[in-house]
Amino acid sequence: MQALTKTNFLFDNQLGIYHGKVRDVYNINDKYMVMVVTDRISAFDVVLPKGIPYKGQVLNQIASKFLDATSDIVPNWKIASPDPMVTVGHFAEPFKVEMVIRGYLTGHAWRKYRDGSRNLCGIPLSEGMREHEKFEKAIITPTTKAEEGHDEDISRDEIILNGLVSEEDYSKLEEYTYKLFQSGADIADKMGLILVDTKYEFGKKDGMIYLIDEIHTPDSSRYFYKEGYQERFDAGEQQKQLSKEFVRQWLISNGFQGKEGQKIPEMTDDFVKEVSDRYIELFENITGENFKKADNTNLEQRIEDNIRSFLANV
């Protein structure tokens, strides 16, 4: 099984390329963005040494499906998906914040709460809450978009005061975020899942706000299984999650949390296949569709040919 870990294509009218943790993004003449979702996998802000076959296809096809499903809520950047691992869309200037929305006191929010904080991004939190408890109403806890290192929590007031986003635009981002989250939660509910928290990124083109990047994938979102949620919560047990949390737990159990001096454990072929199988399981649980593996025998060439063919005809 081939895995795509990096691309360095050169297309006509290409102005630049950005290699993220997982995505390689090509700027075509400040008009189109070509996003290649590779098979790289990251945890604890570290890209692991081996790619996971079909992971890129899983993430791209989930995001593509949900971009289509939410296009009636907010315009989005997607134009087409000319390859199972590629989305081509509009070039939009990204806002310098990520809109994180949480329906439950879980993950980062729980760790802050556990350590004594009763205020998250300017939002007061009630006393006596427990891990994985549902909020009365979902809360938006934005973060800055760091060029390097970790994103930082930031409040609505700080965003507007520092001129990161205008008050008018931020109000619109909030409105879109709540509506997108409700849509994602409704879809998840039909699949027997709970959309716990997620993040959205937005950009602007010709004065219009667009939803950009990925949406409702297991890399950007956390899902619980609905069945047994209440019983586990009442018993104080951990929830059954549908995310890449199992990769983090494997790393932790093998002595790695991204800290200085720690060594990434060996990723055996069996482990890589297990992770690949789990991502395919994620796809099928989130979408309710059977996953069809694309032919990846000559992966890089296939992707390049499909992108070139698409760009030649737009």
Residue 149 pLDDT greater than 60, yes or no = no
pLDDT one-digit tens code per residue, 245-294: 889 889 989 999 888 899 999 999 999 999 999 999 999 999 999 999 99
pLDDT, average across residues 236-245: 88
CA atoms within 13 A on the CB side of 197: 20
DSSP secondary structure code for residue 5 in this structure: -
For residues 36 and 155, what is the distance between their CA atoms, to the nearest angstrom?
A: 32
Q: Is the pLDDT assigned to residue 73 strictly greater than 90?
A: yes
Q: Measure Cα distances from 242 to 54, 218, 282 in Å.
A: 17, 7, 7
Find where tokens 């494997």 sit.
250
The predicted model gives 182-197 an average pLDDT of 96
* Local confidence band at 43 (pLDDT 50, 70, 90 cut-offs): confident
Averaged pLDDT for residues 100-127: 96
pLDDT in tens, 201-239: 999 999 999 999 999 998 899 999 999 999 999 999 999
Count other Cβ atoms within 10 Å, centred on residue 4: 22
Quote the percentage of the chain above a pLDDT of 70: 98
| Tokens 């400040």 belong to residue | 30
d(CA 259, CA 214): 28
pLDDT tops 90 at residue 185: yes
DSSP state of 15: E
Contact 153, 120 (CB under 8 A): yes
Average of pLDDT values for 79-87? 98
pLDDT classification of 45: cutoffs 50, 70, 90: confident
C-beta separation of 42 from 22 below 8 A: yes
Say what the pLDDT of residue 148 is.
58
* Residues paired with residue 88 on neighbouring β-strands, in sequence order: 34, 80
- Asked if residue 190 has pLDDT above 90, the reply is yes
| pLDDT for the residue numbered 27 | 97
Q: What is the mean pLDDT of residues 147-175?
A: 91
> What contacts 131, CB < 8 A, 6 or more positions away?
105, 106, 110, 114
250's tokens: 């494997």
Helices 269-287 + 55-69 axis angle, to 10: 10
Q: How high is the mean pLDDT of the chain?
A: 95
> What single-letter amino acid sits at 16?
G
Cα separations (Å) of 141 from 1, 86, 110, 146? 39, 29, 13, 16
pLDDT value, residue 147 = 62
Q: How high is the pLDDT of residue 150?
A: 64
**Mean pLDDT of the 57-77 span:** 97
Domains and CATH numbers, the chain: 14-92+268-311 (3.30.200.20), 94-242 (3.30.470.20)
